Structures are given as C-alpha cells and as structure tokens.
A and B are shown apart, each in its own frame.
Chain A
Amino acid sequence: MKTLLFKPFEKYSEKTLLLVGVIFTLIGSFVAYTFNIRFDGVFDVHIVSNTFFYQALLDNLVNIFCLIIFLYISTKYINRKTRLIDILTTSMVARVPFYLLPFLNINGVISRASEDIIQFANPELISQITFSNLLIITVFGIITILFLVWYVSLLFNGFKVASNAKGKVSIILFIISLLFAETLSKFLIFQLN
C-alpha cells in the first residue's frame, strides 16, 4: 500500500503509469470543471465562480508540461540515461492527490465558507464570522497541505527513480525545477486566459 501511494514509480511499468496518468488527468479536469476549481499553477488550487472543461484540462496540461520541462533538464543533468517517459509519468501521476481536492467543494461548501470569511474580513466585523465556516476553511487548509506534501513526495520519488538521483545536489536541483515550473505555469496559464 505504501508503494502504491508513495512509490509507484519503483514498481509499476511506464505503460501502467502512463495509463493511470492520462485517466486521472481527464478525471481531474472534469472534477475541477464540475466543482468550479482552477489548477492555475503547478502548486495552485483556487475556487472560482465558474469554469469550463477546456480551461480545467488546459490548466492541467500546462502544469504537466512545465513540470516535464524542468524536471527533465535536471534529471538529464544528474543522469544522462534518464528517459523522458519516466519524467512524463512522474509529472502526471504525482498530480493525482491534487485531483482529489475538488471533491472537498461538493455543493460549494468551501466557496460559501470562504466568501463568508472574506465578507467579514474586517477588524470591526470579524466577530460575525461563524465558527462552522472557520472550521471548514481550517480543515480544507490542513487537508490541502497534507495533499500537497503527498504530491511533492510523489514528484520527488519519481524524480529519484527516473534519474537514480542521490545527494544534496539532486535535492537542490529538484527544488529549483519546481520553482521554475511553478513560475512558468503561472505565466502560461495567465497568458492563455
């Protein structure tokens, strides 16, 4: 179970991982469209008032593309034998935890809670924020952080397996790759909208 959730790249073939990646990218895009979520950056999940399926799919494709570019450059530098398919499957499968997050916004519960909090985000009105909404946002925040950690750990495991990365230099390259991927994805998604 631990291998399946955190280290699938050690066990499963690239064909299986690619299939899982494609299926979950489509499901993730559909779920984001259904629950009005935008993945507008490699590490971004935002609730919006309205979204289209093509937007949600494009967001995910841009994020995957940005991850591939920078992770592939880093892994090729670490190990010339690194295959593009392993970075592709890593970038797709690692995002699966993020695709589960929109389910938390069933019936717009998170949207309403956040709107309520924003409405009263004023020192004079702050006492009017209901405890239930505060609790909903806190729980959503904690779950999002946990899923973010799961996402990054999957990315790192895939990165390590694809390149046989060891040592501090590879960790630094991994972090730099993610920062560049996040920056480029935000820029591209902004330009495409």
Chain B
Amino acid sequence: MFTFVPDEIFGTMKKLPVNCPSCEKSLFVSQLSCSSCETIISGNYSLPILLQLSSEDQDFIFEFILSSGSLKKMAVKIGKSYPTVRNKLDDIIERINHLQKV
C-alpha cells in the first residue's frame, strides 16, 4: 500500500539486516571496523531503534524530515492523501513505542 523506492534515497546501499534469518530475533552489533586503519572493535551493541524499523519506515521518516515535518507537503510530494500519510506516521509511532518497550 505504501511503497517507496529505497534506491532513490539510499542509493545502492546494502540493506542492513535487523532480524536473525534463522530464528527471527533481533540482531546485535558485535563488531565495528575502521576502513582506514583497520582497527576492529568487538562488543555487544544493540541497534538504534530507527535502524530496527523496516527500510520502508526508514524511508518514510527520511522523506518526512526532507518535507520539514509537514505531512501535507509530504502527501503532495509522494502523491498520497493526507490521512494516508498521517496513518503511516501513526503506525510508525506505534512500532517505535513497541520497540522502546521491548
């Protein structure tokens, strides 16, 4: 119902997996590396809530910011009605609230 083309916003960036493909539980960051000096940091870091959202939701938030937080402007820009865009935002808020509780 609500589809963005991620490539328009994120170019050809690889999609970050947030759930385990095996058991579907949330993934953690266990390693970070510097591409310049090759330093590697190991640990157990949880992903920020925004990254735990689906790429479609992330695209929506990105577009929302680019529209200066105006749902009316955004609705015109993406060719959807105002209540459709507002409902999508409400759904994302609900998902964020759920992720914050987990």
Contact = CB atoms under 8 A, between A and B. Distances in A.
B91 A13 contact: no
Contacts of A162: 83
B80 to A, nearest CB: 6
Contacts of A14: 81-82
A9 interface: yes
Contact of A161 (B79, B84, B90): B84
A79 B89 CA distance: 14
A168 interface: no
A79 B94 CA distance: 13
A112 interface: no
B90 A11 contact: no
Contacts of B23: none
B81 A161 contact: yes
A10 B82 contact: no
A9 B81 contact: yes
B42 interface: no
A164 interface: yes
A190 interface: no
A9 B90 CA distance: 17
A10 to B, nearest CB: 5
A72 to B, nearest CB: 14
Contact of A11 (B79, B86, B91): B79
A10 B79 contact: no
Interface in A1-32: 9-14, 17
B80 A10 contact: yes
Contacts of A9: 81, 83-84
A119 to B, nearest CB: 50
- Across the A-B interface, the 3 shortest Cβ-Cβ residue pairs: A164-B87, A10-B84, A161-B83
Interface of A: 9-14, 17, 79, 81, 83, 86, 161-162, 164
Interface of B: 1, 75-76, 79-84, 86-87, 90-91
26 contacts: A9-B81, A9-B83, A10-B1, A10-B80, A10-B81, A10-B84, A11-B79, A11-B80, A11-B81, A11-B84, A12-B81, A13-B76, A14-B81, A14-B82, A17-B81, A79-B90, A81-B86, A86-B83, A161-B81, A161-B83, A161-B84, A161-B87, A164-B83, A164-B86, A164-B87, A164-B91
